[in-house]
Chains A and B, each alone.
Chain A
Amino acid sequence: MEGIARHLWLVPTLPLVAAGVLALVPRRERRWAAGLAIGALTVSLVLALLAFARTLTGPGVRLTHNFTWLEFGDAQLVLGWVLDPLGAGMLVMVTLVGLLIFLYSLGYMAADENFTRFFCFLSLFAGAMLGVVIANSLLLLFICWELVGLASYLLIGFWYQKPAAAAAAKKAFITTRIGDVALLVGMLWLYAASGTLVFYDGSEGCLESGVVNRLAAQTLTGGLTLSTALGLLIFVGAMGKSGQVPLHVWLQVAMEGPTPVSARSTPPPWWPPASSWWRACSR
């Protein structure tokens, strides 16, 4: 059963690969395109259910798989993924709801001439969101986070011939970018302060007590601890994507996209990783 943690990367990768293939599929291959997108997400759902079953075998299961992505002198950038009860629950929910939205789009977009392009973007969205859920490194989370932003831009502006849709897409992209700048600053600051971006890494990860206590012990101006400042910055990134005041302005016009897109982007399932960080940091 340990295999499922090692192969957890397949869950987001399958929809991403499907999106890559669909980008090359000609427009008239509708049946084929929808079948590929739905098939890839169904396999992801099965894998997510297997992963979820694994987390039910004992209390507080946490399996991680980390690897070095880039070595730069003494500094290393480590990516990886984690399987824990919160992540597994989110995986099942995101794949299941995503699959329902795919099936709904089958009928909803049936008359649209850019049917294959729609399924390409939907698969990209699903893959990026699943990547956010399994990420065990703030850097990997950031990469998938930006992919989610790109996919929502593409989907909100799906009917780009409509000026309102094009403007809404631009607004969504730019507004969420403001939040992402805060997330990027938080990420760089965290790396400078702790030297790691990995969430769980033996006991060296930035969500584990050693590093968090070290960050919480440093006080900035006005009694603000370093961990609170970092948590706030990362929280601003989550605010941007989940449409919270004052970065909510994109959500009101996001309905310019096709209806399944609104269903996909309105519940903000990407904030739990950030909120767990927030929780750990503000102790």
Chain B
Amino acid sequence: MTPLQRYLVVSTLLFGVGLAGALTRRNAILVLVGIELMLTAANLNFIAFWRYGPNPESAAGIVFTLFAIAVAAAETAVGLALIIKIYRHRRTTNLDQMDALKG
């Protein structure tokens, strides 16, 4: 296995763990954690393809990843704020009980 393939296997596993968490957990915060894991897997892919790609001297991979991490931090802050707001309103973080939009 080439080093690139190893990185891709790790990021695939990480993505799988995140996806399983996001789909099976009913707690909103744990779903957010799952989403973050999937983002981390995508970042790992960015870095791996940049490092073993045709042009590792340019800083493109690192710039992309740092940008994605910063955006992900902002996204988590917004997500957590939403969860706190919903919790204050409904007294629960269970996603199955957040069904106010159901017809």
Contacts and interface: CB of A to CB of B under 8 A. Distances in A.
Contacts of A73: 59
A19 to B, nearest CB: 19
Nearest to B66: A72
Interface string A25-56: 00000000000000000000000000000000
A1 interface: no
B62 interface: yes
Interface in B34-72: 59, 62
A72 B50 CA distance: 13
Interface residues of B, number: 2
Contacts, number: 4
A111 interface: no
Nearest to B62: A72
Nearest to A75: B59
A73 B56 CA distance: 11
A253 B59 CA distance: 46
Contacts of B62: 70, 72
Interface in A80-112: none
A69 to B, nearest CB: 12
Interface string A159-184: 00000000000000000000000000
Interface string B68-93: 00000000000000000000000000
Nearest to B63: A72
Contacts of B59: 72-73
Nearest to A70: B62
Contacts of A70: 62
Nearest to B57: A73
Interface string A112-141: 000000000000000000000000000000
A139 to B, nearest CB: 14
A24 to B, nearest CB: 14
A173 B62 CA distance: 30
Interface string A178-220: 0000000000000000000000000000000000000000000
A70 B66 CA distance: 12
A11 to B, nearest CB: 29
A70 B59 CA distance: 11
Nearest to A73: B59
Interface of A: 70, 72-73
Interface of B: 59, 62
Q: Which 4 residue pairs of A and B lie closest in terms of their CB atoms, listed nearest first?
A: A73-B59, A72-B59, A72-B62, A70-B62
4 contacts: A70-B62, A72-B59, A72-B62, A73-B59
